[in-house]
A and B are shown apart, each in its own frame.
Chain A
Amino acid sequence: MTGILSYGAYIPKTRLPLSVIGGRPPKEGGPEKAVAWNDEDAITLGATAGIHCLEGIDRSRVDMLLFASTTLPFQEKQAAALVARVLDLGRNVQTADHTGSTRAGTSALRTAFDAVNAGSARCVLVIASDARLAAPKSGLEANFGDGAAAFLVGEGDVIATLDDFAALTDEVTDIWRPAAHEYTHSWETRFVIQESYTPNMSGAIAAHLKKTDSSISDYDQVAFYAPDARSHEGIAKAAKVSGAALVSPLFGRLGDAGAAFAPLQLVSMLENAKPGQRLLLGNFGNGADATSFRITDQISKLDARRGVEWNLSRRRVIPSYDDYIKAKGLAASEWEAGTNPGLSATILFRERDDDLSLLGQKCRACSAIQFPAQRICETCFAKDDFDKIRLSDRIGKVVTYTFDYFFPTPNPPTVVTIIDIEGARIHLQVVEIEPEQMKIGQEVEFVFRKIHESGGRPNYYWKGIPRPE
């Protein structure tokens, strides 16, 4: 039976309190949104959700990767291929991007089930990720949040099966972002809600119930996309969803995560699910869809996952709107971003194993592990006699550190360390740590991040974060 084998989520640790957008100080317990920081985008959020989903799972099982996002950093150049390299999934994995609509996440998930059922893939990693930008101080800005969810779909020890799926399509210019525009736009909110969101979302749920001959009360958990909290309430009331079954849309904690919104709702449901439960998930964007799932006994056997609650418990509150504007690159600066051609694509190509997959090498002669790839062993001088070894999923320890105030960054200092990882040493920036927390021996895990935008395009590498408890 085809089903979900595993799941994971990633929500950036940074929170922008809505009060700060309004020019007021942060208030503990007040509404906030999760924001991708200056070294994060849809690729890095999605890659991290993928890593969380694959924790403890043999990555060689994965033979297809679908990446869903409306904020792909490249309009041409595939995100799924990049993320497959980051996850070290090998060259034989099939890859595709799903984009253009906040429904991209559920349509990718549906495609994964179809691919496995049709026999064209055995094990599909689906990642939905979004980091949408709204114009500063606009209404959309307060509602948007950033995040990513990932699911592994295949056969075997599935934790949830897909019961059924219903979809409506609709052509309406309600929420859109033309190519080359930085900000997502919206037509008048009342129009969007009355003529697009409400009829489509209600319609898809109704179509699904009719198709499956079920009623809303048959579902133990019900979750669906909404552009704002009030519209969410409206649908819940109209569809008669009970308070016990209704899953929180997380406005005020996370925000509308676009293509990742409904997938993150599914993660929320899975982390609270009991065997035998039925789940209903609605999604919206140029139409709407509704998917139902049934939880298996296997759910209790899956190791704890980094899901929505785990992510939401990690917070770093941004005290000023200026910091946010600087991190998003929206502040004026003396020098325009260079029109240089960027990093040498030839070098990036040659160093994919080091920079994207964080593969070290293990000397067959003396077993010493080293990074990056080099032809002569740093320890015993043996030549060209190494096995590749993935370091990205291992825990490193800080050998030494400094706080660099000279390197240009929106929020100095840059925390720089030498990390010992299985005997290899890596010069690594560490983020999401306060200088006073840093100590020799600090354990870190690796996170894939944007390093800079030389050449006007994102360039990625790894950083460390303190190992979460």
Chain B
Amino acid sequence: MANKNAIRDQVSIVGVGCCQFGENWSQSPSDMIVDAAYEAYADAGIDKPQEQIDAVFTGSIYSNKGPHECADALKLFNKPVSFATNYCATGTDLIRLGVMSIAAGLYDTVLVVGYDKPKDRGVSGPSVVVDRVRDLPQTPAGWFSLAAATYFEKYGASREDLAKIAIKNHANGCLAPKSFLKRKITEEDYFNARIISWPFGLYDSAAQTDGAAACVLTRTDRVGEYKGDPVKVKGVTVRSGPNPQKDPSNDFLSWKPTAWARDDVYEMAGITNAPKEVGLAQVHDCFSLTELLTYEDLGFCEKGSAKEHIADGHFELTGDLPVNTDGGLKTFGHPTGATGVRMIYENVLQLRGNAGERQVPNLDGKFAVSHNIGGHPTACGIAVLGKD
């Protein structure tokens, strides 16, 4: 039996850091790791990391160097350093591993570092794998677009609705200093762009960037030892799912792992009425439709009603439940291992009231949700943070 109360409020985030996301041609993975971790150290007031960090959880999808890449970059030796991957949910899973290790009483203070460096491969999109004959083509746009024909037919949505998501995220990204794309787009731009995998065009798809993000977690009863304004972890979980490509019961109207992870993490956090209690969310907009489905799968609105909420501006910065306040994967890009941690960075800034021009008002007593989904998709991770 899983203990749903083992985590809530036990662990707090006292430092966050995020390197400049983008086509970081002149930076190595280590360079980005140092940028992110030292910003988190500074935020937490950590000046002797070799003494103050008890354990490290790091992860990446593209790296084949394992935990040493991070340990060596930060010179964190003679410490437990672990490397984990969980598709696009890697970042959230790293947070979860760090939180669990503290909640279990193993460590007081833990560093989490997610990073990835896809721009060293010489191609603009994701890698196209040709190591089998079955299940081709293997393209992320091809996997995630498979919910479009079914969803559009059943609920009458269309590319017009997806366009509004892309336009919103481009606008939000202009307000986030560390985003890659800082350019507003119009509906005309959206419809003139080339198609990647129908119905996804260029502006429906996350950019490919390099990036790293980090956070410092500690026992809630010791937050006073750190300078950073603490934010509590209310719940964090990951859920596996069947491959939708062979799952006999997939309806291609939602992604199962999101709903499963939602039930788990809302119970951990004590969320019973998400539309009212969640103040903002960073959701996995690898593609515009993934964000749309997530509005519904996270219970922000009824299944099938996303397009009305989109039309009302419900998820915009000025709306009732702003989503992807920093521009999301659309404008930060998706260095896979970093993304979930980058979302934590944004939610911590927002809950502290430090998000500048994109600050969401009236977050007192509200939860901040971050969500990753990855694989075919076959895994989801969700973290819930709160100030109180």
A-to-B contact residues, CB < 8 Å: 343-344, 347-348, 351, 354-355, 368, 370-372, 378-379, 399-408, 413-414, 416, 418, 423-427, 429, 435, 440, 451-452, 454, 459-461
User: How far apart sit A454 and B150, CA to CA, in the bound complex (Å)?
Assistant: 33
Contacts of A418 in B (CB 8 A): 146, 244-245, 250, 252
Chain A residue nearest to B246 in the complex (CB):
A425
Closest chain A CB from B234 CB (angstroms):
33
Flag if A403 contacts B136 (CB, 8 Å).
no
Enumerate the 7 nearest inter-chain pairs by beta-carbon distance, A residue then B residue, closest first. A407-B137, A427-B245, A461-B133, A402-B145, A403-B198, A404-B197, A404-B142
Question: Are A454 and B244 also in contact (CB < 8 A) when A401-B149, A404-B197, A405-B194 are?
Answer: no
Contact B248 A416, beta carbon cutoff 8 Å: no
Q: Looking at B139, B148, B249, which has the most chain A CB atoms within 10 Å of its CB?
A: B139
**Minimum CB distance partner of A356 in chain B:** B133
CB distance from B246 to the nearest CB of A (A): 5
* B141 at interface, CB cutoff 8 A: yes
Given contacts A406-B142, A418-B146, A435 and B198 within 8 Å (CB-CB)? yes
Bound Cα distance from A107 to B252, whole angstroms? 52
Are B136 and A407 within 8 A (Cβ)?
Answer: yes
Look across to chain B and name the residue whose beta carbon is closest to the beta carbon of A371.
Answer: B246
- Give chain B's interface residues, CB within 8 Å of chain A: 125, 128, 130-139, 141-142, 145-150, 153, 194-199, 242, 244-250, 252
Main secondary structure of the interface of B (DSSP, over half): loop
Given known contacts A370-B246, A372-B246, A405-B196, is B137 in contact with A343 (CB within 8 Å)?
no
Question: How many Å from the CB of B191 to the closest CB on chain A?
Answer: 16
- Chain A residues with CB under 8 Å of B149's CB are 400-402, 440
A402→B195 CA distance, assembly (Å): 11
Q: Is the CB of B142 within 8 A of A460?
A: no
Residues of B within 8 A of A451 (CB): 133, 136
Number of A-B contacts (CB under 8 A): 119
Task: Out of A344, A370, A435, name the residue touching B248 (CB < 8 Å).
Answer: A370
Give the distance to chain B from A438, nearest Cβ to Cβ, in Å: 8
> How far, in Å, is B254 (CB) from chain A's closest CB?
13
Task: Specify which chain B residues have a CB less than 8 angstroms from the CB of A414 in the assembled complex.
Answer: 137, 142
How far, in angstroms, from A414 to B135 measured CA to CA in the complex? 13
Inter-chain contacts of A425 with B (CB < 8 A) = 245-248, 250
For A420, the closest partner residue in chain B by CB is B248
25 contacts between A and B (CB under 8 A): A344-B131, A378-B247, A379-B249, A399-B250, A400-B147, A401-B146, A402-B141, A402-B145, A403-B195, A404-B141, A404-B198, A406-B197, A407-B139, A407-B142, A408-B128, A416-B137, A416-B146, A418-B245, A423-B248, A429-B137, A451-B133, A452-B136, A454-B131, A461-B133, A461-B134
On chain B, the residues within 8 Å of A454 by CB distance are: 130-131
A residues in contact with B133, CB < 8 Å = 343, 348, 355, 451-452, 459-461
Contacts of A343 in B (CB 8 A): 131-133
CB nearest to B195 among chain A residues: A405
**Is A406 within 8 A of B250, CB to CB?**
no
A418 CB → nearest B CB, Å: 6
Contact of A406 among B125, B249, B252 (CB under 8 A): B125
Residue of A nearest to B126 (CB): A406
Complex alpha-carbon distance, A65 and B141, angstroms: 42
Bound Cα distance A461, B136 (Å) = 10
Residue from the list A344, A355, A402 in contact with B197, Cβ < 8 A? A402
Pick the residue among A355, A407, A427 that contacts B128 (CB under 8 A).
A407
A414 to B195, CA, bound (A): 12
Query: How far does the Cβ of B248 sit from chain A's closest Cβ, in whole Å?
Result: 6
